[in-house]
Amino acid sequence: MSEILVVGSIGYDTIATNHGKVESIMGGSTNYFAVSASLFCKVNVVGVVGNDYQVSDLNFLKNRNNIDLSGLKKNEHEKTFRWSGCYEKSMNEAITLETQLNALAHFNPELPSPYRHVPYVFLANIDPELQLQVLHQVNRPRVVGADTMNYWIDSRLDQLKELLKKIDLLMINEGELQKLTLDWNAISAVKTASKMGPKAIVVKRGEYGFLLYMDEQYFILPAFPVYKVVDPTGAGDTFAGGVFGYLANANQDLTLENLKWACVYGCLMASFTVQDFGLNKLRQITLDEVERRRIDYLKLIHLNQPLTLT
């Protein structure tokens, strides 16, 4: 079993869906990723919170098995990163109402010495300039993955393109992929994105599952069927946590076959997150529950050999 380094946002979200509204609940890409991946292996967190970050929320992360907060800083002069969004007709993509960078705007990621040698690195959704800063501090990681969002594609495109040259795995949703490549066809868009640098690309497609592209091959699976989707926020980061958790748990290299199974576990982890607001469901599940859901998922996607056609 190996370890993961994750760097990204830690904050509070205000979310409205057709199942209600919640205000100032734990959010941020790093929180979803870390809570998800920590079921599989140790996760080392680098991030920043403000002077309003609740002690109870900090204690939850401190007490969570396999999460190390040695790289977490507190900015006593700023408030914590905050995001506000809603879902209307489609639950596949949030409508951002407000983003307050707050402490994240002045964040300077500095990795504790032990973190610099962690083999699996995930650069969660933050300014690509900060993601590049992190890469300059790590020592020959085995796998580097990154996520992004429309906000950075619009405002930091040059820096993002520089980042893409240096990573192995890009995690991106379909709308972001379209914006990045100016191509509305995901099948051709992943080819365009792969020419920007990443060895592999995983397109997160919400209720439709995911699309994996690597070595000029495609792998597509549906999402695990969830009867009641309450809140999709953080599902993509949870998915990434499952992917990296699986890879690091078994010390896997980034191959197409390994990544296929990693994405299956990403799907499973995301299916728990969407069942409640924020981290409410994710913080309760066990690895045994994930394995039981894996068995059900494999039944869903299984096909017997067809009869020979004549």
Residue 16 falls inside a structural domain: yes
Classify residue 309: in a domain, yes or no: no
How many folded domains does the chain comprise?
A: 1
143 burial level (CB within 10 Å; 0-12, 13-18, 19+)? buried
Alpha helical stretches, state H, the chain: 29-37, 55-63, 128-135, 150-155, 157-164, 174-181, 186-194, 235-249, 256-273, 287-301
Among candidate residues 191, 236, 237, 233, the one with its CA nearest the CA of residue 215: 191
pLDDT tens track for 114-145 = 999 999 999 998 899 999 999 999 999 999 99
In whole angstroms, give the CA distance from residue 161 to residue 155.
12
Flag whether 159 is in a domain: yes
Q: Read off the pTM.
A: 0.94
Rounded CA gap, 210 and 217, in Å? 14
Does any domain span residue 284?
yes
The region that residue 180 occupies, defined by phi over 0 for left and psi between -120 and 50 for alpha, beta otherwise, is alpha
Given a contact cutoff of 8 angstroms between Cβ atoms, the answer to whether 38 and 67 are in contact is yes
Q: What is the 8-class DSSP label of residue 45?
A: E
What is the distance in angstroms between the CA of the first residue and the CA of the last residue of the chain? 50
DSSP per-residue letters across 184-228: S-HHHHHHHHHTTS-SEEEEE-GGG-EEEEETTEEEEEPPPP-S-
32 lies in a domain? Answer: yes
- The SS3 of residue 79 is coil
Structural domain of 248: 3-301
Could you tell me if residue 146 is inside a domain?
yes
- According to DSSP, the residues that pair with 203 across neighbouring strands are 172, 211
Q: Of 184, 186, 194, whose CA–CA distance to 216 is shortest?
A: 194
Residue 306 lies inside a defined structural domain of this protein:
no
Task: Please count the other Cβ atoms lying within 10 Å of the Cβ belonging to residue 217.
Answer: 9
Per-residue pLDDT of the chain (310 residues; tens, 9 = 90+): 899 999 999 999 999 999 999 999 999 999 999 999 999 999 999 999 999 999 999 999 999 999 999 999 999 999 999 999 999 877 877 888 999 999 998 899 999 999 999 999 999 988 999 999 999 999 999 999 999 888 889 999 999 999 999 999 999 999 999 999 999 999 999 999 999 999 999 999 988 999 999 999 999 999 999 999 999 999 999 999 999 999 999 999 999 999 999 999 999 999 999 999 999 999 999 999 999 999 999 999 888 877 777 6
Pick from 118, 95, 155: which is nearest to 4 by CA? 118
Q: Is residue 308 part of a domain?
A: no
CATH of the domain at 26: 3.40.1190.20
pLDDT digits (tens, 9 = 90+) for 11-63: 999 999 999 999 999 999 999 999 999 999 999 999 999 999 999 999 999 99
Rounded CA separation 237/269 (Å): 10
Strand partners, 152: none
